Amino acid sequence: MTNPFFTPSPLEFGLPPFADIHDEHYAPAFERGFAEHAAEIDAIVNNADAPTFENTLIALERAGQTLSRVAAVFFNKASADSNDVTNALEEELAPQLAAHSDAIRLNPALYERIREVHAARESLDPESRYLVERYYAEFTQAGAGLGQAEKVRLTELNQQLSTLTTRFEKNLLADTNELAVVIDDVAELEGLGEGEISAAAAAATERGLPGKYVITLVLPTGHPYLASLANRSVRERIMTASRSRGAHGGEHDNHANVLQITRLRAERAALLGFATHAAFVTSDETAKTPEAVHALLSQLAAPAARNARAEQDALQALIGDEFELAAWDWAYYSEKVRKATYDVDTAEMRPYFEAERVLRDGVFFAATQLYGVTFTERPDLVAYHPEVRVFEVQGDDGSVVGLYLLDLYTRDSKRGGAWMNSLISQSALLEHPVIVTNNLNVPKPAVAGAQGASVLDTAPALPTLLTYSEVTTLFHEFGHALHGLFARVTYPKFAGTNVFRDFVEFPSQVNEMWMLWPEVLANYAVHYETGTPMPADLTSKLQASAGFNEGFATSEYLAAALLDQAWHGITADSPAIDGVAEFEAGALASVGLDNPAVPARYSSTYFAHTFSGGYDAGYYSYIWSEVLDADTVEWFRANGGLTRANGDRFRARLLGVGGSVPPLEAFIDFRGRAADIGPLLDRRGLNA
């Protein structure tokens, strides 16, 4: 069989030949990839020559190319466009991948070779020396120094966990689709715009429910439509469905998975010499200890809860005695308070946030002003799904930076949330170019043509108008994309966003600042029908209200971050946990974030970040990175803002180094000092 993964892609930029890739190619490619990689590792281990940087570390960096090619494409598809075949194969692959990784990281002879090179590392150049240090630290943390019996048990644990986390994700996707809210009467959608209603109608048609309306669920607890829907009963139905995911019994229930995952992670941590899984994870992050994480989160929790209570009182005052404010009411009435207080209605902004203008004249424009890069759409290049758009990125000197793929719209085959992936990561050693993707979950308006036409048949009949939150998300995810596009490193291990988990969100959060930067906002915030710019007074009012509702936003986030820490703070000998809901309630009560009107951003049974997404004991990363982000925003403001000089400095000293420099060293090199928490406290209104 001719398999497109068996050789490097012949296409421009090394773009995977998606037109030639079919489901039947994945399993054989993984099989060959595993075998080739294992043989390459054996060759390193059995090399009779004394260990050197070249015959050990360089050889490791060159190994596993077939496996890397198929894994990058497969796991992007499994997240963005899954089907029954990929779902089944992903579950089958999970323990195999864990076993393959363990066979490498727990290989005593390989560890000894790395240890010897590590002992002689001082003669190497800085990037090579850091590569050796990272390999040695990661192998050590992974258990390479354990005895054989412990390694056997560790391998069993890793395989079980890989299966459980994959199952958690598949349950969540299935339940998210099944619990989508079906509306019979368009009158119940009062408050939504024409495009949103059109998207709900299109979603219903795709599900074989013509004449009805389907509101698909998003990953967080809340839903963007809750801010607009006038019908309280519909708001309640959406919130109830959201919070029921993985928690209502049946074949997609995640209660058992949560309990098993946390128990096995605690056992593995103990086996590796750590008190808890949180201690295991943070030991190789910039935080270093869970105590440092708790110190930050605890410092913020009390004032955030206090501010949320004050906001709640204001909302209740608006409602009066008619009913008690519930979680599904918060977004709707907070918009009313925002309008009454600041004369700002974010729903009024949607006509100014047409997706194409936001992308080209906002997101791309800011990048061009800062970094001199330009974006040319390449419709001749085939992506992994018909809705995915491909852009060639060039420097101001005409040099090729890489490819950027945008997958904007939601679909039942795509997991919730928004993210960035690398299909190919730049590496001078392997002479690799770079291709990155951004995935969002924006509802797609109905298409032109006959009733019942596929959403892929034509372009949307109505423009895609983004919510304020969706615009923020697009700028955020594009910050990750820039990190991946700009990193220029020698070794694959340091490519793109391969930095510590509690640092990776920093560049993406910095990029959010340009959304409301006056020069950028004026360039893209244009009414989609009239072409008139967003009124200047609306812009100024929006900026004046930037701190509005921060008590709620900070509290819901911290509740999830502290819940993640609580699950991963249990020890191997802790008493068995009988109920997920009871544990969650106790964890939130203990930190004063158990306000029913402010539910955690994610509840345990649909907390994909921590139970399937790689942020286990690391969801704190967003606010940990925001300390750096807020301080960096202050630097940009103090140094002239949106200028090439500022962009070039940020690109050269931070984005461009990828993971080749310890991240906090890169930050200090850019900022000139360590980060100050003051700007974060000011931004979130937590100083008083």
Catalytic annotation, residues:
477
Tell me how far apart the alpha carbons of residues 275 and 661 are, in angstroms, rounded to a whole number: 29
Query: Are the C-beta atoms of 300 and 635 separated by less than 8 Å?
Result: no
Phi/psi at 557 (5° precision): -70, -50
CA distance 22 to 315: 53
* CA atoms of 542 and 540, how far apart (whole Å): 5
CB–CB of 9/16 below 8 Å? Answer: yes
CA separation for the pair 166, 545 (Å, rounded): 41
CA distances from 449 to 71, 354, 460, 560, 612 (A): 38, 22, 10, 43, 39
- Token pair, residue 106, equals 């727990």
Residue 214 β-bridge partners: 182
Q: What is the DSSP string of 604-618?
A: GGG-HHHHTSS-TTT
User: How many residues are listed for the chain in this entry?
Assistant: 688
How far out from the chain centre does Cα 354 lie? Answer: 23
Collect all residues with Cβ–Cβ distance below 8 Å to 236 and sequence separation of at least 6.
326, 328
Q: Are 606 and 172 in contact (CB under 8 A)?
A: yes
Q: What is the DSSP letter of 427?
A: B
State both tokens at 115: 């240890």
Structure-token pair, residue 48: 């009779």
- Tokens found for residue 191: 């408050």
Local structure of 460: helix, strand or coil? strand
Closest alpha carbon to 602 in 590, 623, 588: 588
CA angle, residues 230, 232, 237, in degrees to nearest 5 = 120
Q: H helices within 320-437, ranges in order?
A: 330-342, 346-349, 355-357, 364-371
Q: How far apart are CA 240 and CA 390, in angstroms?
A: 38
Report the alpha-carbon distance of residue 422 to residue 426 in Å, rounded. Answer: 9
> E strands, 134-280, where?
181-183, 213-215
Token match 């200028």: residue?
Answer: 643
357 close to 528: Cβ distance less than 8 angstroms = yes
Q: Whose CA is closest to 130, among 503, 650, 663?
A: 663
How many Cβ atoms sit within 10 Å of the Cβ of residue 128? Answer: 19
**Separation CA 653–CA 175 (nearest Å):** 44
Helix, strand or coil, per DSSP, at residue 4: coil
Paired with 407 in beta bridges are: 439
DSSP-derived 3-state class of residue 9: coil
